[in-house]
Amino acid sequence: MDYKFSLLDGQSNLMIGYSKNIIGLEGKPNRDGDCPLHTVTFIDFVFCDEFKHTLHQAKNPFID
């Protein structure tokens, strides 16, 4: 599959996953008080195996 977009964790630089398309980046943002927010939808999003492993380790630190 060809994935155009990736989702990266800004603190750890860990790749979370990939997506074929994203909807919601264009147009007017939603308003929540003073902060403009965009609602985005990831089309055909797939989590990376490394992220799933890291998440599992964080929830169960004593299980390898």
- Write out the chain's pLDDT in tens, 64 residues: 678 999 999 998 999 999 999 988 777 777 767 777 878 899 999 999 999 998 888 887 776 5
Predicted pLDDT at 1: 61
Please tell me the distance from the alpha carbon of residue 54 to that of residue 59, in angstroms, as a whole number: 9
Please tell me the distance from the alpha carbon of residue 24 to that of residue 41, in angstroms, as a whole number: 6
Predicted TM-score (pTM) of this structure = 0.69
- Per-domain boundaries in the chain: 5-59
Q: Cα–chain-centroid distance for residue 51?
A: 10
Predicted pLDDT at 58: 85
